[in-house]
Every structure is written in C-alpha cells, then in structure tokens.
C-alpha cells in the first residue's frame, strides 16, 4: 500500500502536546468513509504526525507573566495566594490549598487558561463562554497591578510567539521551530517512505511556519542558502523532509496575508511554489490542492488569492466557512481556535485525500 504522510501544525497554542488528537481522529474517520476503507486500513493509509513547536519559548512567556505580577505577591502575599481566588471561575484550581501555600494567583490563572485552550483544541463548546468570562474580568484577586490579566496573558502567548519567532531578531527561536517541523517530516519519511506525497494541515501562525520552511527549502535549491545548518542536521535527505513531495496544503485561520507585509514588494507577490516539484507532474491525478479556510468572523484570518496573480495561480481556493456551533459566541473573533475540530473543514480535506489515495493505489 502506498501511504500518504500528514503533518498537523499548530498555531499559537499554549502547552498542549495533545493538540492534534481531535483533528487526527476526525480526519481518519472521514477518510475511511470517503475511501471505502475499513478503519484499520484507513489508519494504515494515513501516517499522521503532529508538529508541536511552541515549548521552546513557552517557559519564557510564563516567566514574563509571573514577573509582571510579582509586585502584587510582594506587597500582599496572602492576597496572591488568597483561597477566594481559587474559587474564582476565572482562576479556579480545585487542587489549590487554602492555607496560604500552593500556587499563586497568577499560576492558577495560567493553569485555568491552559485548560481552556486544551478544551478549545478538542472542540469543546463550553470553553468559549468560560474564556469570555475570564476576558471580561478587569481585576482578579492577587492580580491587581495590571488590569485585564486574561487579555494580557493572551497577548503574551499569541503575540509573544510571533515576536519571538522573527528570524531577523532571534535566529535561535526561528531555528528551533523549523527543527521541530523538520523532525516531524523526517519521522513521516521513515514511516511512509522518502517520496510519499505530503499533506499539511496548518492553523493560524503555523501557516507562517510552514510557508517559511518550504520557502527556505525552495530558495536553497535555487542557490540562496536559507536553510539553517541546525535545521539541515535534523532534517535528513529525503524529498519528503525537504517538502518536495508537498501535494496538499490546507491553511486555516491564516495570517499569511498580514505576514506578507514584512517584505513589501517581495514576498507579497511571491508565495511558495505549489505543489512540490516531486509531485508537480501528478498534480491533477493526485487531486492536489491548496485550500485556505477562513471564517469571516476571525480577524486573524484572511483570503490569499487577492494578494496577486501568483497566489491566484497556486492557491486553489479561498474557502469561507462558519466554524463552531450555534452559540452567538461563534460569530465573534473568538472562533479562531475551532477550525480543525469542525467537520465542515475536515471532511472536504478527507475527500481530497481519498481521491489521491485511490490514484496512488489503483488496485
């Protein structure tokens, strides 16, 4: 059996190594239905690897958050560890003791919000109102020196990843993120084969990471040495690990249109070459496509084809979707985390992969 390699790349996630469980489960089930394979055969046909690149800067973000509220704990350590804060719905930790010990108010808030992010990654409707309740709190016990601590926590994690990643200011962070993607692609090559066609599902800022990785590979082939040595060391030599077999690309909630502004007049008109050179001749037979999913209520997400003729040529479709459930909260920018737990996104992807798999396995 010829297999398809699938990489799932997160965006600005928060300490959730299990972020890919829900999209992987939904994709396998939808692929089995679309291909007519049994669940066991479908599991064997798709080789799926998560790309969890956030931990490299996660601890620095948490340390910065704690430092910003350190003055509160110094002035009033009892307030910073107030047991009332543990009962607060925006900072609740059922395991926190009420005797002045245990985690601080900031640590409890961090743990609570990380739980909400994990629930959102799993597609939980309940995570959304809980997040809104936390965002609405101007102050919280033990977190008074700066208002709206939940909003600041989100800015620190969401914007902090983007700032820390910028190659021009910190090549180490850029390299670390690309190394994680390279390692995942190398694992896929080991399991699916060096020349197996590659499918990438990328969300949010993960779409920027994927675009940069592929762009660096392609420019290096053209003679510009953009792939860093530390990335090359873990990447291996397979065409798949170099993204040369990229046959399907699904970007979700992508800020690539905004990111293109960093190099005016250059990248704005020049997306990555798609599909990869190793599968370009089979593009139509494999049903290769680059589909950019965006929700109109998601202020992070933009269509790509309006960026210029090159994007019109390479991006098959900008597909507007309304992700999430029936709650009015899904008609707000808070819909951003819910793309790959939504069947309206996953099922058309599965159908395209099933068509490609049948071409790979005509018997």
Neighbours of 39 (CB within 10 A): 12
Question: Tokens 């190594």 appear where?
Answer: 17
Other C-beta atoms within 10 Å of 331: how many? 14
- pLDDT tens by residue, 90-108: 444 333 333 445 678 888 8
pTM more than 0.75: yes
Give mean pLDDT, residues 298-322: 94
Contact by Cβ (8 Å): 4, 357: yes
- What pLDDT score does 88 carry? 43
State the pLDDT at residue 294: 98
Beta bridge pairs of residue 320: 294
Question: Checking phi first, is residue 109 left (phi over 0); if not, alpha (psi -120 to 50) or beta?
Answer: alpha
Confidence of residue 175 (pLDDT cuts 50, 70, 90): very high
Domains of the chain: 4-53+170-360 (3.40.50), 70-145 (no CATH)
Highest mean pLDDT among 28-32, 123-127, 167-171: 28-32
- Is pLDDT larger for residue 296 or for residue 169? 296
Q: Of residues 88 and 149, which shows the higher confidence score?
A: 149
Question: Region 150-163: what's the mean pLDDT?
Answer: 82
Q: Which of 49-58, 206-215, 257-266, 306-315 has the lowest mean pLDDT?
A: 257-266
**Backbone angle region of 111, left / alpha / beta, with phi > 0 → left and psi within -120 to 50 → alpha:** alpha
What is d(CA 29, CA 38) in angstroms, rounded to the nearest whole number?
9
Token pair, residue 283, equals 């593009």
Q: Is pLDDT larger for residue 182 or for residue 236? A: 182
pLDDT of residue 219: 93
Among candidates 39, 51, 40, 56, which has minimal Cα distance to 5?
51
- Determine the distance from the C-alpha atom of residue 61 to the mean position of all C-alpha atoms in its chain, rounded to a whole number: 18
Cross-strand partners of 47: 5
48: preceding bond cis by omega (within 30 degrees) = no
Q: Measured between alpha carbons, how far is 129 from 222 in angstroms, rounded to an integer?
A: 49
Q: C-alpha angle with apex 354: 348 to 359, nearest 5 degrees?
A: 135
pLDDT digits (tens, 9 = 90+) for 224-281: 999 999 999 999 899 999 999 999 999 999 999 888 777 655 455 679 999 999 999 9
Six-digit token pair at 153?
């926590």
Q: What b/e sequence results for 201-210 when a residue is b if at least 16 CB atoms lie within 10 Å of its CB, and e otherwise?
A: bbbbbbbbbb
User: In which band, very low, low, confident or very high, does the pLDDT at 202 lie, cut at 50, 70 and 90?
Assistant: very high
């Amino acid at each position: 059996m010829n297999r398809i390699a699938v990489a799932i790349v997160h965006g600005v996630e928060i300490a959730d190594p299990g972020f890919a469980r829900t999209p992987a489960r939904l994709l396998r089930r939808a692929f089995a239905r679309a291909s007519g394979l049994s669940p066991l055969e479908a599991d064997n046909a798709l080789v799926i690897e998560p790309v969890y690149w956030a931990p490299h800067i996660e601890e620095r973000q948490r340390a910065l958050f704690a430092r910003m509220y350190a003055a509160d704990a110094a002035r009033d350590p009892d307030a910073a560890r107030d047991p009332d804060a543990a009962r607060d719905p925006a900072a609740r930790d059922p395991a926190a003791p009420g005797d002045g010990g245990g985690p601080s108010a900031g640590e409890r808030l961090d743990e609570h919000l990380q739980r909400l992010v994990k629930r959102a990654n799993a597609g939980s409707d309940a995570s959304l109102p809980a997040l809104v309740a936390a965002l609405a709190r101007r102050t919280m016990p033990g977190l008074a020196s700066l208002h709206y601590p939940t909003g600041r926590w989100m800015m620190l994690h969401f914007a902090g990843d983007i700032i820390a990643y910028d190659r021009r200011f910190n090549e180490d962070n850029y390299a670390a993120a690309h190394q994680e993607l390279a390692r995942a692609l190398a694992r896929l090559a080991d399991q699916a084969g060096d020349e197996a066609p590659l499918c990438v599902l990328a969300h949010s800022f993960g779409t920027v990471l994927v675009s940069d990785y592929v762009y660096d590979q392609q420019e290096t082939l053209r003679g510009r040495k953009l792939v860093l040595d530390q990335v090359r060391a873990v990447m291996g030599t397979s065409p798949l690990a170099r993204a040369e077999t990229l046959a399907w690309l699904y970007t979700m909630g992508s800020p690539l249109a905004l990111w293109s502004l960093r190099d005016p007049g250059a990248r704005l008109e020049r997306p990555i070459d798609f599909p990869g050179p190793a599968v370009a001749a089979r593009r139509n037979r494999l049903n290769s496509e680059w589909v950019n999913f965006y929700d109109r209520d998601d202020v992070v997400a933009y269509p790509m084809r309006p960026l210029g003729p090159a994007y019109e040529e390479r991006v098959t479709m900008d597909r507007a979707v309304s992700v999430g459930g029936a709650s009015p909260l899904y008609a707000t920018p808070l819909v951003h985390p819910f793309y790959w737990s939504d069947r309206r996104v996953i099922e058309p992807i599965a159908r395209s992969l099933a068509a490609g798999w049948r071409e790979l396995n005509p018997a």
